[in-house]
Each structure stands twice: as structure tokens, then as C-alpha cells.
Amino acid sequence: MQYIFSSIALSKPFRNFAVALLFLMGPLCMAQLKTTIDTTQMRIGEELLWSLELEADPADIVMFPEGAKFGGFEVIRNYPIDTLKSESGARTMRLRKRYGLTSFDSGTYVLPPQRVLLGDQKFESDSLNVVVYSVVVDTTKQKLFDIKTSVVVPLEKTSLWLWILACLVLLTLGYLGLRWWKKRRLQQNKAPILPPFEEAMHRLSQVDQANLLDQGEIKAYYSELVDIVKCYVAREVDDRALESTTDELIQRFYLHQNAGHLSLKTATITHLGNILKRSDLIKFAKGSSAADQIQLDRQGIEQIIIDTKAALPEEEHNEDEEAQLALAVAQRRRRHKRRVIVASILVLLLSSAGIVFYFGVENTKDYVFGNTLRDHVEGPWYQSAYGVPAIELETPDILKRQLASTAEDSIALRDRSVFEAYTLLDPLYISVSTTHRPNAENQGLEQALDMALNRLEKQGAGTMLVKSESFETPEGLKGLRAHGTFYFIDEPGHSSQDQSTYELYVFGQEGGVQTVLVAYKDDEQHAQVVKDRIVNSIAIQVPEQSVDLNNTER
């Protein structure tokens, strides 16, 4: 056997053939798919890491499987492809694709083979078995909570001022639109601006400038002349002139002349009748007229209008009638103005009644006039700690540390920290103070209570009613509580009309004295809610050094 291998090794042709065969089969030997998982046993919901590795040439196209599920496992994480250095040292690279899988049901699952494409070659991953165990819940050690009740979230309502503003805008636009429509209607029905005589003369000059005769429009020329004289007569003498024929118009002229309404000469009326009849012949019988006759008719129409104006009776100005007319116009305008005001007030009242009915009386009053306490209830709250030893409480606004402004304040605040929000004049006032005092637990609380009441009185609280008693918070903090009412004194001898209610809490915990003061103007609706929320949130921070070592494991 040794002789055979040595002979083969020494055989040069066979050696060259073996090298060529290994070169051709090299890529097939390198391209092997490796399948691994990090565990074969897992619990429900845990991540199973499934990896596929393949060595390939950098120029080859590699496609790994894609999908949302592989067998009984769901893909919860799809990692990017890692490019690693080949272990063989050849001119290849090692590609690794990882998948994060999980299952939400217990049992034994098979991760089926998946196909990987390398150029024109196809590879399949190994089939793997994985056991999924259920999670045991120990109700004796792990507390179970009841299902939370549903919370009714109030609908956000639009601000009342926006509704009022919208109603006012609509009313204003409606009123302006009505005024514009009436004004436009009056302008359409309004008589011409020019008086009748000036209008007739103006139209005659326009006919002359139109050059209708030069264009051969004799029919249109006579039509304009007749329309001008009839419009003037209709406005000044007889309102039926436009709809009358030539004979009817001349007949009515004679009637006005006989009745004394018009002192016009008979020759003028006859001249007008001749011109009108000539115009009828030209318009309806296709008649013609000489140029001299046309010019005479033009001058005749103008002279007839002048004579008619002179024949009109003079108007008698009655000052009493004009005064009565002016008074009637003024009364009509005042009535119109009153109607507009009444209608606006009625619409405003109806809109206000609808808004009050929709939002309610209290909500409407709060939206219109504002309610600071309501804003505190519906606004954000902040949980903060103040002073050393720290006292925690929840407030509508962050309390600010009070700095000493005078030498007396500097001495008073030497061993005490004071934090405040708002003032006694506001609907709500909050004050927190902490004083470092060793061995102060439940000792000297009455003295601290008296000092806090004196400080409140110095701030302007007068006519104070004080009631004190022992107090214990729901968390077990014990202390003293003082409550009552007072009136704020803004000037010596003068106090405000609004009564304020206050509650003062004094605790002696963790080597110090803590006081919490809440003063408010009771609106019988929101003030108690604000006060109770502040008081129920009071807590004293326990330092780590104060933990009882006897309760710790040794």
C-alpha cells in the first residue's frame, strides 16, 4: 500500500490531474451550509436564536430565507447579515444570517429545513427539534391584581369665549350683509341722479355725438329723439307717456292743458304731434326725410322740452310738509335702529341661553368669569420634595424657596427652609417649612404650631378662628392640626370681604419639624378637592440611615 501511494505521488501526470480535480471541486467543498440554534429548550415568549452560516465567493449572490413564520415559530427579530473572515484562509467569506424566533404555545416543535440559494446552487438547512415549556405562575408568592375599572375621560369642550366670539361674528356678518343687500336694492330702484330736464339735454347731446345720421341710421336717430321726449314727459307731465301711442299722447297733452296742469301752447302740442307722426312713418312704414327736415325735427324736440319745462306750474314749498317728512324719515330710521338692537339682543340672549343649557350654569360661570380653583383641579399637578428633612406633597404648582430680604428674615430663616406658592390674596395659598431639630419627634409640636400661626398672622391674616387637634395621615404620620377661618387685612383697620379657610399641619419626624399650610377661599365646589389632594399626598422622606438595622438580615 505504501508503495502504491508513493508511486502515485511520484507519477507526475496523475499528480497534475488530482490538482485540477481538487481545484474544480474546491467551491463545492467550501460551499457548505451550517445550521445552529442557541438552545433546544425554551420557555414561552423567550427568544430562540437561529443561525445559518455559508462560505461563498464575494462575487456570488446569496439569498437567505425570508418570512414571518418558520414552522411553529414566529420571527420577532430579523438580524442583518454578518460578513466574517473565512476560517479556511481561502479567497472566500463567511456569511451568517441570524433570526430571533419565539413561540407562545408550549409543546415540541420542529424547525423545518429552509432553502438558501448560492448563485445557481441550492442548499437546505438542518431540521431541528425544540421543546417549549409553559411558565408556571406561583400565586402564593406573586400577587394578582384585580382588573382595573374603566375610567371615563371627560370630553374636551371648546372654550365658551370662542362660541360667543363666533356668534358675534356671525351676527355682525349677517347685519352687514343685510345692510349691503338693502342698499343695493335701493340703488337699483332709485330714480336717476340727474333731474328730468338735465337728463333730456344730456341725452340729446349724446345723440349728436353718436353720428347716427352720418352712418345712415335715420330710423335709430328718430327712435332716440322720440324716447328722449317721452321719458321727459313721463317724469314731468304724465307717467303714462312711455306706453302711449302718438295719438294718445297728444290727446293727454290736451287734457292736461284744459285741466290747467300744463300751460303749453297749442302750436307746441301740434308741432310735437307732427314730429311723432313723421317718426312713426320712418320707423314702421320705411319712410324717409330730408336732411334739412331732420335737423328741424332735432331742434324742434329740444324746443318742445324747453317749452314744456317752462309750462309746468311752479312747485309750492310747504315748510310744514317738509318738516313732517323729515320727522317721518327720522322716526323710521329710529324704529329701524331699535329693531336691529332688539334683534341683536334677542339673538345674543338665545345664544347665551343655549350655551348655559349645554354647559350648565356653574361651568358657564367658570368659563366666563374664570375659576382659579377649577383650573387647579383640571390642570397638571407636581410631586416634589422640600427641605431637609424633606417633606413630599403634590401641588398644582412648584413651591418656591423664600429668601431673606432683611436681617430679621435672615435670622428667622437661619435654621429653617420656607417654600411658598401664591399669596394670601389668591384663591389658594400653600406654604411648607422644614426646621432641623434633633430629637424633635412629637416634641415641641405645640410650640411649632403657635409659631406657624403667629407667622400667618404677620402675613396679614386677621380675625382668626383657631381649632387645634391631633392628626394622623393615611400613611401613619402623626402630628398636630389647626384649622379655622380668617380675613386678610390689606390695610391697617381694613380687611377684605372674602373669608378664607386654612388648615395647618405640624409634624415632628426624622430629626426635624415640618409644617404644611393650605389656605383657600372656599367655593364649595373645587376648594375642598384641591385641599384634600394636597393633604392626602403629604409624606416624609425617610433617610437611608434611619432604616431599622434590627429588621435586616445578619
Q: Which CATH number do you get for residue 517? A: 3.40.1000.10
Take residue 101 and report the three cell numbers written for it: 424566533
The verdict on 401 and 438 lying in the same domain is: yes
pLDDT tens for 508-538 read 876 678 899 999 988 878 888 999 999 888 8
pLDDT value, residue 283: 85
The verdict on 399 and 519 lying in the same domain is: yes
**118-149 core/surface letters (b: 16 or more CB in 10 A; e: else):** beeeebebeebebebeeeeeeeeeeeeeeeee
Q: How confident is the model at residue 51 (pLDDT cuts 50, 70, 90)?
A: very high
Does some domain include residue 169?
Answer: no
Does some domain include residue 162?
Answer: no
Which of 160-169, 389-398, 431-440, 539-548 has the least mean pLDDT?
Answer: 539-548
pLDDT tens for 484-513 read 999 888 776 677 778 899 999 998 876 678
Count of the separate structural domains present in the chain: 4
The verdict on 428 and 303 lying in the same domain is: no
Choosing from 115, 133, 151, the residue where a domain stops is 133
Choosing from 311, 340, 365, the residue where a domain stops is 311
Does some domain include residue 165?
Answer: no
Which of 180-194, 216-230, 464-478 has the least mean pLDDT?
Answer: 180-194
533: alpha, beta or left? (left if phi > 0; alpha if psi -120 to 50)? alpha
The verdict on 398 and 272 lying in the same domain is: no
Q: How far apart are CA 386 and CA 508, in angstroms?
A: 15
Does some domain include residue 362?
Answer: no
Take residue 63 and report the three cell numbers written for it: 439569498
pLDDT tens for 165-179 read 777 788 888 888 888
The verdict on 206 and 127 lying in the same domain is: no
- More confident call, 245 vs 10: 245
pLDDT at 443 over 80: no
User: In a 3-state reduction of DSSP, which class is residue 403?
Assistant: coil
- Domain carrying residue 402: 377-542
If you average pLDDT over residues 269-286, what whole number do you get? 88
- Nearest to residue 417, comparing CAs of 404, 408, 428? 404
The verdict on 99 and 231 lying in the same domain is: no
pLDDT tens for 199-246 read 889 988 988 888 888 888 888 888 998 999 999 888 888 888 888 898
The verdict on 3 and 90 lying in the same domain is: no
Output Rg (C-alpha) for the chain, integer angstroms: 54
Does some domain include residue 516?
Answer: yes
The verdict on 39 and 104 lying in the same domain is: yes
The verdict on 63 and 1 lying in the same domain is: no
Does some domain include residue 445?
Answer: yes
The verdict on 396 and 492 lying in the same domain is: yes
Does some domain include residue 45?
Answer: yes
The verdict on 221 and 108 lying in the same domain is: no
DSSP designation for 550: G
The verdict on 35 and 66 lying in the same domain is: yes
- More confident call, 442 vs 473: 473
What's this model's pTM, rounded to 2 decimal places?
A: 0.42
- Nearest to residue 456, comparing CAs of 424, 495, 499, 491? 424
Choosing from 84, 102, 133, the residue where a domain stops is 133
Inter-residue contact 65 to 116 (CB < 8 Å) = yes
Does some domain include residue 172?
Answer: no
